[in-house]
Structure 1
Amino acid sequence: MNKQELRLRYIQLMNDAQKILGRDEAIDLIKESEVIWEKLSA
């Protein structure tokens, strides 16, 4: 996947998470996933 495809997929996943979990839980999930990603990328 190129960067544009990854961006679109990320947005789609986050929208799906919000629909399933609700706004507050989706925000928590996004924040936690970003922390994990940063640790994996370091």
Structure 2
Amino acid sequence: MDKVFQSVFYLFLIIILFKLSQFAYRVIRERKYRKELAQSGMPYID
């Protein structure tokens, strides 16, 4: 029973880490995109 709980726990941990990394990647990509827009002199369009 303990092994089942442990495997489920690790599975959730991996899923959470995956979601966090996806979110972080999106935020970083958006920041780079905004920096490029600012450098090109274009007004930021929402």
What TM-score, normalized by structure 2, do the two folds share?
Answer: 0.45
Whichever structure has more helix as a proportion of its residues is: 1
Bigger RCO of structures 1 and 2 (CA < 8 A, at least 6 apart): 1
The structure having more radius of gyration, on CA atoms, is: 2
What TM-score, normalized by structure 1, do the two folds share?
Answer: 0.48
